Amino acid sequence: MDSVSSGIPRLRAERLSRIFGQGAAAVRALTGVNLDIQDGEFVAVLGPSGAGKTTLVRLLAGLDTPSEGRVLLDGSDLGRLSEARRARFRRLRIGLLWPTPHLLSVLSVEENVALPLLLNGSSKAEALHIAQGALERVGLSAHRAEDPAHLMPAEAQLVALARALAVSPAVILADEPTGRLDTEAGDRLLRLLRRARDEWGQSVLLTTQNIRVAAYADRIVHLRDGVIFDVTPFNEAP
Amino acid sequence: MRLTLILALRYLRRGCPLSAITLAAITPAALVLAVSLASRLGDLPARIQWGVSMGLVILAAWLGLTKALMGTFQARATELTSLREIGATPAQIRGVILMQALLLSGSGTLLGLLIGLGLIALTGGRPVPSLPIEAAVVAGVGLASGGVAGLVAARPFTHL
């Protein structure tokens, strides 16, 4: 579905709450979060450690189930999908980035990038061809045959971005992707996320504790103790 | 299927848990010994006692195999979680784990058959399996025990 023509937000969180544990031991990680990400929008969620940023990303990606509320991607309620359908949805529609790259150690760089396509049933030749293109976008095509263990941390994180880009997802969800990178490597990754928004058609949601990183976004959503308390339009990248 | 096999083989090449193969070898070896030596025992109670003893050995080996596989997959938990994040379905993740369990238990079954037959040959008993169908039954039980152990070990990674 084309979310632009239909007027539906690309990704919508409605009254999203997540409570871990029960009774006196219950911990409320998110409370009533409402958030829309429009097609081609770059949103940063800014908050300190423990604010609920990772919980939010996991819920938006369908990796966790909300205690209340729902997540809609292009109008589809993730909570109404079976686990298998949600997995296929995530594979094709959502690109995920974490503070660490989460690459498979038994696969080469290009095989890691091709993996979502292979899981989706693409032929090896086709998947590797697309993976090569994604690696070129992030400037790592020379490393395609390497073992991920031999990469620098910044390079490994770019491979994770190439893997996310390979399926041309509707949304990239990046949970503190620059948290373990130095400033230069972090900026390189953030510029690529901007390109994903500007040139490759992805909507981007990024979480961070760093206002300088958040300033790459069009809009900053402030999250603290699981609650959104402010939204700042922010159109100029540093 | 091909991707599952490739991933399983690569993981086993990276680190093949010998404890799992050894434990998987016990079931077929015990089966061969149980059937072969039972014929030497005279009365029915002695045969039943022998059968129960071998059954307990097989149960203990299966529990040990399950625990060994769980330990192996727990050590790869981060990567198995990554598979889920990039959109592998629960069935695909289960397939990767099950394939590794079957490859390990298959190797163990082969080893167990050889050990069992070797022990029978040393004691001069009637070698069982002596027929292809008996060998197939023993191998099937060995693989099934590994498969079920693999399914149990896979459960935490498909219900995250």
Between chain A and chain B, how many beta carbons pairs sit less than 8 Å apart?
Answer: 60
Q: What is the pLDDT of residue B34?
A: 78
Q: Do B86 and A83 touch (CB under 8 A)?
A: no
Chain B residue nearest residue A88, CA to CA: B87
User: Do residue A163 and residue B86 have CB atoms under 8 angstroms apart?
Assistant: yes
Phi, psi of A20 (to 5 degrees): -100, 135
Closest-CA residue of A relative to B86 is A91
Query: Is the CB of A87 inside 8 Å of chain B's CB atoms?
Result: yes
- Place A38 in a pLDDT band, splitting at 50, 70 and 90: very high
Q: Which amino acid is at B153?
A: A
Banded pLDDT at A213 (limits 50, 70, 90): very high
- Rounded CA-CA distance A26/B94 in Å is 31
Give contacts of B84 with chain A, Cβ < 8 Å: 63, 87
Residues 6+ apart with CB under 8 A from B74: B156
A92 Cα to chain B: minimum distance (Å): 8
Structural element, H or E, at residue A17: strand A11-20
Q: What is the pLDDT of residue A27?
A: 92
pLDDT at B124: 72
All residue ranges of chain B with pLDDT < 50 are: none
pLDDT at residue A131 in the model: 97
| pLDDT of A176 | 96
Q: How near does any CA of chain A get to the CA of B21, in Å?
A: 21
Which among B1, B6, B11, B85 is the top mutation candidate for probing chain A, defined by the most A β-carbons within 10 Å of its own β-carbon? B85
CA distance A96 to chain B (A): 7
Q: Are A84 and B84 inside 8 Å of each other by CB?
A: no
| Token duo for residue B150 | 């693999």
A62-121 pLDDT, tens digit each: 999 999 999 999 889 999 999 999 999 999 999 999 999 999 999 999 999 999 999 999
Spatial separation of the C-alpha atoms in residues B77 and B156, rounded to whole Å: 9
Which residues are bridge partners to A206 per DSSP?
A44, A174
Contacts 24+ apart (CB under 8 A), A116-124: A116/A91, A116/A92, A116/A163, A116/A166, A116/A167, A116/B86, A116/B87, A117/A166, A117/A167, A118/B3, A119/A91, A119/B3, A119/B86, A119/B87, A119/B88, A119/B92, A120/A88, A120/A91, A120/A92, A120/A167, A120/B87
Residue of A nearest to B88 (CA): A87
B8 contact residues in A (CB cutoff 8 A)? none
In this complex, the residue of A89, A104, A118 whose CB is nearest that of residue B82 is A104
pLDDT confidence of residue A172: 97
pLDDT of A3 strictly over 90: no
Set of chain B residues whose Cβ sits within 8 Å of the Cβ of A173: none
Question: Chain B residue with minimal CA distance to A119?
Answer: B88
Q: What are phi and psi of A83, to 5 degrees?
A: -60, -40
Tokens coding A197: 């928004």
Q: Do A88 and B87 touch (CB under 8 A)?
A: yes
What span, in angstroms and rounded, lies between the C-alpha atoms of A205 and A228? 15
Interface of A with B in 107-146 (CB under 8 A): 107, 115-116, 118-120
Contacts A83 to B, Cβ<8 Å:
89-90
Residues of A in contact with B78 (CB under 8 A): 102
Which comes out higher in pLDDT, residue A127 or B40?
A127
**Which residue in B11, B82, B87 is closest to A102 by CB distance?**
B82
CB contact under 8 A, B3 and A118: yes
Query: Which one, of A231, A232, A235, lies nearest residue A218 by Cα?
Result: A235
Helices (H), chain A: 3-6, 53-60, 83-93, 109-119, 124-137, 153-166, 183-198, 211-214
Give the confidence band of A167 by pLDDT, cuts at 50, 70, 90: very high
Identify the residue among A58, A96, A106, A113 best suited for mutation to test binding to B, counting B beta carbons within 10 A and taking the highest.
Answer: A106
pLDDT tens, position by position, A170-207: 999 999 999 999 999 999 999 999 999 999 989 999 99
Nearest to A128 by CA among A150, A142, A138, A113: A113
Give the integer Cα–Cα distance in Å for A78 and A46.
24
The alpha carbon of residue B152 and the mean position of all alpha carbons in its chain are separated, in whole angstroms, by: 13
Residue whose C-alpha is closest to residue A223's, from A205, A204, A202 = A205
Alpha-carbon distances, residue A124 vs A94, A118, A162, B13 (angstroms) = 21, 7, 17, 21
User: What share of chain A in percent tops pLDDT 90?
Assistant: 88
Task: Residue B14: list chain A partners with CB under 8 A.
Answer: 105-106
- How far apart CA A31 and CA A135 sit, in angstroms, is 38
